[in-house]
Amino acid sequence: MSGPLKGLRVLDMTRILAGPTCTQLLGDLGADVIKIERPGEGDDTRRWGPPYVRNADGSDSDASAYFLSSNRNKRSLSIDMAHPEGQALIRRLAESADFAVENFKVGGLSKFGLDYFGLKQVKPDLIYCSVTGFGQDGPYAPRAGYDYLAQGMGGMMSLTGEPDGKPMKIGVGIADVMCGMYATVALLAALHHRDKTGRGQYIDLALLDTQVAWLVNEGLNYLTSGEVPHRRGTEHANIVPYNVLPTADGHLILAVGNDRQFQRFCEFAGAPELAADPRFLTNSLRVANRKALYEILPRLTARKTLDDWVEGLAQIGVPSGPVNTLDRVFADPQILHRGMKIELPYPGSEKGSVSLIGNPIKFSETPVDYRRPPPHVGQHSDEVLSEVLGLDAAEIARLRDEGVV
């Protein structure tokens, strides 16, 4: 184990996507993540398929692609939280943990004594993070929250889609993922505070809050002007030209960030007069006259192939790129060079391994370490109970016979 968080332990009581995104990232950074799962069933997303990993005999395993996306570098311990002995085991695990992360409904763990206040009794300096839809307080706190709701209620769907179409969600659970990212940042900040003071603390994160936080420029466009932004399709609110345009054989993303880039683009496109047009001299003028410019540009970009545009514009420093389907993404030489597609051994599966998406963080001294593929339910129960809690084989067998683990 070589990551910067080597030596830290995470008590992971999360499922679905937001919490597991956080704990997978902590695991990638070297922490020992112990994932608590319901005996037999495990994380809900294990059944969110197809597709599933295929077993050697061709049958579906207990690992959906969805589950694989956010659960590597974890050890799975199956425990029945509703059983008093199961609760006692989790409290004992908390004694050795630095972080506890959970995403149950508000108050969902307090009845088991596994909320912050319960676990703080056994581990006073524990850093405990709760991820919920709407936070621990406020009028919506009791409601169940999902990524889709956060995207809609937090304004993102009002900004996504074609101007004359219906509101659209983003193609992945981005509110969940970003909430998991914020949770990771918060935990590491709290760790720094604990290192200085010796005190743990409670972290309250909500999908809706984090969704609003990353409205960024569009949120500030509204707060600054008082004007409600509307859907612009693939256009940008504040930069023109910044859009998807047709080519002779595909679609080009053109992302002109300043006036010099616009001049170079016009020269390469064989239309230098556009850069001198009084309507398009500056970005502010291009934003004001976007409709007129976007009526002209498709006729120009359709004259060349996608590769001609991407290669030619790269040579003159004008940002552009293709709209790739995922087969092209994971065959792209830059993506492969950067290690964004990885393979981990997966004994018992049809091909003996699983393909996963790599971690984008590149450390010079403490590289990300891919130690464990996503686990099967309870795969590491005996290991964790023996290694961490010191239980012998007879005691583990008794717990299993009684349905505790």
Mind telling me the catalytic residues?
Answer: 176
**Angle made by CA atoms 258, 263, 265, in degrees to the nearest 5:** 95
Q: CB of 247 within 8 A of CB of 302?
A: yes
Name the packing angle between helices 174-197 and 18-28 (round to 10°): 50
Could you give the strand order of the β-sheet that contains 9-13, starting from the edge strand earlier in sequence?
74-78, 32-37, 9-13, 99-102, 127-132, 201-206
Q: How far, in Å, CA of 72 to CA of 27, rounded?
A: 8
Instruction: Extract the tokens encoding 96.
Output: 């050795």
Q: To 10 degrees, the CA torsion angle through 404, 389, 13, 198?
A: 150
Helices (H) and strands (E) in the chain, counts: 17, 13
DSSP letter for each residue of 186-208: HHHHHHHHHHHHS--EEEEEEHH
Task: Quote the CA–CA distance of 312 and 270 in Å, as a whole number.
Answer: 12
Q: What is the CA radius of gyration of the chain?
A: 25
Q: CA–CA separation, 2 vs 23, rounded Å?
A: 17
**For residue 333, what are the contacts with CB-CB under 8 A and spacing of at least 6?**
none
